[in-house]
Chain A
């Protein structure tokens, strides 16, 4: 295995663990577990949010199982983590826009902290990985649609 592949694999392993742990916490929160410190970690307790994290974690983790092309799983994990980071940021942006346009009552007293969730800070780490391994992601090598 190349040195770069090895670093990518370890990065993937760390993120796999983080996504799987936070995914489990989100699901537990969603089914009623009320851990004392979950709020500090911005765990909102959403089953679907949790499943999203678990699937992304599984993609990172499979890199260790499918060793013949080890880099592709962490790279796809990075891509998925970044896609969900963008989704969560857009959702936050929409709430923020509503807050600015119509006031806090309209959004049931929503604050930016309410919009924070593990998918965002884990997504930021994924996106940073995307910056480090941007050449490996190869998305720019894809041709334009409708060619």
Chain B
């Protein structure tokens, strides 16, 4: 065990999508989710590394373009750097995009914290023939600059050496000269210094520049201080818009000089990514290409998993038969075989589908294609009352709605954010997939993949319709403008895709072993009571519950068993399948459930399609409702999301059965 003599706290910051989380993972041996698009990290996360007698705490912050926060996630980053006083600020710089990244560097430099630069993605820079002189950068910025390729673990030791070295030293004072504005800065700085408490906590020159930039955070710090009146009077006499532009100009002048001296070649030329984008974000071809790739993904998700599903199914059936034949007393055998193995098994059967889907999503994310999808959607989104930045949470919603709703923090405008939160639950998450696969397989076997694809399209259509309605009647006005940087295309690594897939598969199995297990045991108990009743019959307690709510769902073509399964689906959508397994008395074999559903005279293609649509549109799960409340802090919007989802699901399923039933039923 290594001796630890000093603690060092490091704030890991940088522009969005420069590889901060990859570097964090490499430095702390963690497994934070990484993705080749901006906005993957929306909260700060800590990890530790013991290195040469130092216990280094590394705090991974959301991406930010400057120290002036314009969205919730940027606020997390800037507030931490400004208020939590880390010992070292480690800025991850995308070496292939130096000008833009150095703007944040300039601001950090002015803030005066000890700083280290991780010149990440230096392999891309070198591949295109550019070369960076890190000594020049170090001399100019007064901070060590280390070449890193986080995904391959290159440069980590040097980086840790630099962090430890910098933590021991007093930071080098580096300033940007602001020419004519210097007199104003000096006056403001003198006024700030009259407040000893404030000037001991924050650099006064830095505060002066922020006041010129009209930074609401700094204004908030000073608003209740005695010096504020004088500051306010002084600021009212200067043209802050012009001042802000002059500050930015001066910083970019320094950046241009630094880049010119430190970077050899560094001339823009058309990259492979630019060429690929000519096709993939093409005005006419972009969206059709996205749609066929999505369809291909669902075909693979449905069909390629089939033999593995059958294997798992056969395994659970064997296990269930053995338990039923060998365990006594009989009620325990029934609990284990029909309840636990049948219910949980019916959910775990879909593990291969989940693995394949997350593998494909991982590849699309890591390759950088998902960022293009957001860009493609922007045109469409602005027409329906959303902005392009909404596309990222919506696409994340295909995996799980919870992180997707959290990802809306990157949307600056409150109205845009609320609309996105309200429509994200319509994006079909992986929990709904077992329901689709079960019913599409049973009733649409030869076009099951296409039916599953249609479910996702219906979800997107519901999101668009809802966004349009909210924009037209509740949040009137135009969506805010969207500027998005497209990351370069990259080859996904096996490790990154593997870790992403493993994490999601593990969560799925964990959910099956916890909340779904509880759900199916509850259903089993309700189906077995009162004692002596036929298991899962109308005379059981669950039958009684089902019969009470059956009249509500009868107009949709559903019977009491579907009603009960949908009711329990409020907890988690996977329970619908587990519940049906119990209610149809299908034992432990998913194929038996498919056969039982086909044999049920009350079910056909039309109400099966209606059931899939209902499952898609009504509230995804209790946890989603919880996160909506957490993010909006509004019971009104949380209740709206739940009630609106149910009403929309009911209306569409009603339409499908009432119109489709007579035609095709």
Interface residues of A (CB under 8 A from B): 46-48, 51-52, 55-56, 58-59, 62, 66, 69, 72-73, 76, 80, 83-84, 87, 90-91, 93-95, 97-98, 101-102, 106, 108, 138-147
Contacts and interface: CB of A to CB of B under 8 A. Distances in A.
B491 A146 contact: no
Contact of B151 (A52, A98, A140, A145): A145
Interface in B141-158: 149-152
Contacts of A98: 306-307, 310
B34 interface: yes
Nearest to A93: B304
Given A51-B288, A51-B292, 9 more contacts: A48-B453, A62-B282, A94-B305, A101-B311, A141-B127, A143-B123, A143-B124, A145-B496, A146-B19
Contacts of A101: 307, 310-311
B276 interface: yes
A138 to B, nearest CB: 5
A55 B285 contact: yes
B36 A146 contact: yes
Main DSSP-derived SS at the A contact region: helix
A114 B361 CA distance: 29
Contacts of A46: 447, 450
A72 B279 CA distance: 8
B4 interface: no
A95 B303 contact: yes
A2 to B, nearest CB: 15
Nearest to B314: A102
- Size class of the contact patch on chain B: 35 or more
Interface string B145-184: 0000111100000000000000000000000000000000
A72 B278 contact: yes
A95 B306 CA distance: 8
A106 B313 CA distance: 13
Nearest to B95: A147
Contacts of A59: 279, 285, 289
Contacts of A48: 295, 449-450, 453
B292 A142 contact: no
A142 to B, nearest CB: 5
B366 interface: yes
A106 B291 CA distance: 31
Contact of B272 (A93, A94, A141): A141
A95 B300 CA distance: 12
A146 B279 contact: no
B19 A69 contact: no
B22 interface: yes
7 contacts: A48-B295, A69-B270, A76-B280, A91-B299, A145-B367, A146-B22, A146-B366
Contacts of B420: none
B120 interface: yes
B121 interface: yes
Nearest to B149: A147
B525 to A, nearest CB: 34
B292 A52 contact: yes
B289 A145 contact: no
B491 A142 contact: yes
Given A52-B295, A55-B292, A101-B310, A143 B275 contact: no
A62 B282 CA distance: 10
Contact of A94 (B278, B291, B303, B368): B303
Query: Taking each of A80, A83, A94, A142, which has the highest tally of chain B beta carbons within 10 Å of its own beta carbon?
Result: A142
Nearest to A90: B304
